[in-house]
Amino acid sequence: MKIKSIFQVIFIYILLTGCADTLDDCHSDYYLEIDAPSLEKDSGYYELEFLPDYIQTFTTLHAQTGSEYQKVSWVSNKEIEIAGVWTNLVNHTSYTDSNGEAYTVLGVWGEFIGDTITVYCGYKDMCALHYVDSLKVIIE
């Protein structure tokens, strides 16, 4: 019984020491900035011209984090119902590359012409700090 207790104490010590080392590796130089590199920006709003000969129009969104191989989440404030299922206008998840950059796609339908869509992006780093940014896209 004593040997089991000693092993439990050693396991807990190793676990706590490992966690402390991870927190020591926290980087304060992480950040989050998102943009729509292929769209024009006017007065703080990106402008997406809907292509009338298509069902849907797409654009790529970009995130810069300063954190490599980081899971990044995306969501828009608008959804569309497709076959009885509400679907968000952006892909929900991407990962940063070795440069700390991530991408997703915003896809809009004709019914959004005239609307302003807000896209939110965020992630939580290894220090449990949350980073959030957003942008607005006017559909013309």
pLDDT digits (tens, 9 = 90+) for 27-43: 568 999 999 999 999 99
Q: Give the separation between CA 117 and CA 58, rounded to whole angstroms.
A: 13
Q: Give the separation between CA 101 and CA 76, rounded to whole angstroms.
A: 19
pLDDT digits (tens, 9 = 90+) for 54-95: 999 999 999 999 989 999 999 999 999 999 999 999 999 999
Considering the entire predicted model, what is its pTM? 0.80
Q: Give the separation between CA 84 and CA 40, rounded to whole angstroms.
A: 34
Q: Give the separation between CA 118 and CA 68, rounded to whole angstroms.
A: 25
